[in-house]
Structure 1
Amino acid sequence: MFNAVSALDGQVAPGEVTVRELGLRGMVTLRGDLSSRKLQNVCKKLTGVAFPKQGGVASDGDKGLAWMSPDEVLVMVPHARATAAVAEIEKALKGDHFVVVNVSDARAVFSVQGAFSREVIAKLAPADLHPDRFKEGMMRRTRLGQVAAAFWMVDDETFHVICFRSVAEYTFKLLAASAGAGRVGFLA
């Protein structure tokens, strides 16, 4: 047996906007019919949050659900619960067409928190992050610099960012450099 470790061991870049690797997180990719009551119910049971609409995310601490595509949802649970979550989904959806995979150890998760966190992300992503267009509860799959990533707002000053573990160091340094460069003042 092995001891799982996070991509960057909780690395932090402090500042007016702090970038922090959030450690081990349980993440399960579930593809199937997102309108299925059985699928929605098992996801709600595992996370305790409402099933998200298109482009949405619902989270509470280290639990949550994120709409990833018309047939895919990301189920977020504590890291120690990810394998059990896969088994519960398989049992609940037996006989249905679906694919479920524990992707926890293939991903890294970051927090970007502070007064101009929206600008930190906006400098890196080709997405409209104006406060009238992007709000808490919305999710984007896009790019940060040169890598695929997804992000959502936890609150007015906090984003969570997910990327592949293989590009975690690049993503962390990119976010830290954007934060360290300071405000632009455009989205204020």
Structure 2
Amino acid sequence: MSDLCTALRGARFDGYVSVFEAQPTGMIQLRAELENGAVAEGVCRATGAEVPQPLGLATGECGTVLWMAPDELLLRVPLEVVPDTLAGLEKDLRGHHHLSLDISAMRSEITLQGTAVREVLAKVTPLDMAVLDSGTVRRTRLAQVAAAVWLEDAETARVLCFRSVATYVFDVLAVSARNGGEVGAF
């Protein structure tokens, strides 16, 4: 991983769960009326995915769409296509009230892998990790900072946070994942 533009410079910690900085990805914040057909068409053209249901995510051939709020989506696309994706959204949504921004440099993404990802997260977030389903996105707190959390599958979780607090979030997750800290709750 190139360390030129990442907050954590490829940091990795291996405990009873592995915690590591995800590969840089393009992130576009889209604020709009999500029920608008033009929004659905623009999102589909940009990512190949549908607008997800509340608290959900949808994956298409060109990217992933995360539901962040009743009027907000996060489009995750390859970093190199962000300018073209933004231009396409602007064209598709011309005449419709919306805001689309490249926030790729504002956010950091951290991946957790292992059989106990739910336990590691349960130590540091108020989310009920026993009931969080794969494919569900939740905005929450991670220790003292805002974050978004989702499970890709039973052994892979993603955490999205502001770049300015990425080191803090990484360190909190690494402490939570240290060998000898297993609780066995899940």
In the superposition, the TM-score normalised over structure 2's length comes to 0.93
The list of structure 1 runs, each at least 4 consecutive aligned residues, that deviate by more than 6 angstroms after superposition, is: none
2:46–2:62 contact (8 Å) kept in structure 1: no
Q: How many residues get paired?
A: 183
Tell me the distance in 2 between the aligned counterparts of 1:6 and 1:62: 22
Counterpart in the other structure of 1:185 = 184
Counterpart in the other structure of 2:152 = 154
1:25–1:62 contact (8 Å) kept in structure 2: no
Deviations 1:58-103 (A, max 9, x none): 2369821111100000011011111221111111000000011100
Counterpart in the other structure of 1:7 = 7
Structure 2 residue 89 is matched with structure 1 residue 94 = no
1:9–1:23 contact (8 Å) kept in structure 2: no
Alignment of 1:109-148 (within 5 A): 109-130=109-130, 133-148=131-146
Per-residue deviation at 1:24? Answer: 1.4
In the superposition, relative to structure 1, how do residues 60 and 41 fare at CA in structure 2: closer, same or farther (>3 Å)? Answer: closer
Q: Mind listing any 5+ residue stretches in structure 1 that lack a counterpart? A: none
Root-mean-square deviation (CA), in Å? 1.7
Tell me the distance in 2 between the aligned counterparts of 1:21 and 1:15: 15
1:28–1:102 contact (8 Å) kept in structure 2: yes
What SS class does the counterpart of residue 105 from structure 1 fall into? coil
Tell me the distance in 2 between the aligned counterparts of 1:16 and 1:99: 41
What SS class does the counterpart of residue 90 from structure 1 fall into? helix
1:28–1:101 contact (8 Å) kept in structure 2: yes
In the superposition, relative to structure 1, how do residues 142 and 13 fare at CA in structure 2: closer, same or farther (>3 Å)? Answer: same
Tell me the distance in 1 between the aligned counterparts of 2:33 and 2:132: 26
Tell me the distance in 1 between the aligned counterparts of 2:142 and 2:61: 24
Tell me the distance in 2 between the aligned counterparts of 1:121 and 1:128: 9
What SS class does the counterpart of residue 137 from structure 1 fall into? coil
Tell me the distance in 1 between the aligned counterparts of 2:182 and 2:13: 16
In the superposition, the TM-score normalised over structure 1's length comes to 0.92
- Percent identity, aligned pairs only? 40
Alignment of 1:163-178 (within 5 A): 163-178=161-176
* Paired AA for residue 34 in structure 1: L
